[in-house]
Amino acid sequence: MLRIGITGGIGSGKTTVCKIFETLQIPIYYADDRAKWLMVNSPSLQTGIQQLFGKEAYLEDGALNRAHIGGIAFKDPAKLQKLNALVHPAVFVDGENWQQEQLTFGATYTLKEAALIYETGSYKMLDKVIVVTAPEEMRIERVMKRDNLSAEAVKERIARQMPESEKVDKADYVIQNDGQHSLIKQVLSIHQAILALKA
Ligand code: ATP
C-alpha cells in the first residue's frame, strides 16, 4: 500500500482537495486534526503538556487552553520546541496505527494530510508528496474569511511557514488551487498516476 502525503501552506486548500480524494474512497489521515484530538484525549500527552505548561494548560471542561499555551510558546521558543517534541512522536505512532488498520480495507494508497511534511521530515516515510498551491492573495483572503482574522495576522502565519516555492520544488505532484484550474481534473489525474505506480 503506497503512502502519499498532501501538504501546502495555510489556506492553500489541502482540506478542500482531500474532500475530493475522499469521494474516490481514499483513506485520509488528517494529522493536524488528529494532533489536536490527541492533545485532549491521550493521557500521556496530557501529562506531558501539564508538566510543560502547568495545570492551566487545560480548561475546566477538559479543552486545551490555547490562549495560555500560545502565550507561553510565543515568548519561549524552547517551550514550543518541547511541545512539538511531545506532540510529533505521539501523532507519528497514532498515524502508524491508523496505517496498519487501513491494510485490512485494501485501498491501493492512503493519504496523510499535514501542514508540516517537509519541515518535520515525515516525507521520508512517504512514497510521494502532493503540494497544493494558491496565489498568496487568494490564500490570505480565504483564511481571513474562514478564521475571521486580519490580513496582517494571516501574513504573519504565512511568513512563519516554509515558502511555497520551496515546497513546489520538492513536490512529486502539484495541485493549483487558483480558481482557474479544475481541482477535480487535477485530483483525478494524480489519482491515476498513483494507481499506475502500483500497476
Ligand atoms: P489550513 O492549512 O489553514 O488548514 P487548508 O490548506 O486545509 O488550510 P482549506 O481549509 O481547504 O485550506 O481552504 C481554506 C479556505 O478556502 C476554506 O474556507 C475553503 O473553503 C476555501 N477554499 C479552498 N479552496 C477553494 C476554492 N477553490 N474556491 C473557493 N474557496 C476555496
Q: What is the CATH number of the domain that holds 147?
A: 3.40.50.300
Mark whether 168 and 144 lie in a shared domain.
yes
Closest residue by CA, ligand 1 atom 24: 13
Q: Which atom from ligand 1 is nearest to the alpha carbon of 19?
A: 11
Mark whether 141 and 51 lie in a shared domain.
no
Residue numbers of the domain that contains 4: 1-27+105-199
Nearest to 167 by CA among 123, 109, 126, 110: 123
Confidence (pLDDT) at 120? 87
Q: Give the SS3 label for residue 59.
A: coil
Domain membership of residue 32 (yes or no) is no
15 CB under 6 A from ligand 1? yes
Q: How confident is the model at residue 28 (pLDDT cuts 50, 70, 90)?
A: very high
CA 144 to chain centre: 19
Confidence (pLDDT) at 106? 85
Domain membership of residue 34 (yes or no) is no
Mark whether 81 and 110 lie in a shared domain.
no
Number of domains in the chain: 2
Q: Give dist(CA 104, CA 84) in Å, integer.
A: 31
Domain membership of residue 33 (yes or no) is no
Q: Give dist(CA 41, CA 143) in Å, integer.
A: 27
Q: How confident is the model at residue 198 (pLDDT cuts 50, 70, 90)?
A: confident
Q: How confident is the model at residue 74 (pLDDT cuts 50, 70, 90)?
A: confident
Mark whether 183 and 143 lie in a shared domain.
yes
Instruction: For 122-135, write each residue's pLDDT tens digit.
Output: 899 999 999 999 99
186 CB under 6 A from ligand 1? no
Mark whether 92 and 139 lie in a shared domain.
no
Domain membership of residue 35 (yes or no) is no
List C-alpha distances in Å: 73 to 19, 81, 124, 133: 32, 9, 27, 28
Q: Which atom from ligand 1 is nearest to the alpha carbon of 113?
A: 7
Give the pTM: 0.93
Average pLDDT estimate for 5-13: 97
Confidence (pLDDT) at 94? 96
Confidence (pLDDT) at 160? 87
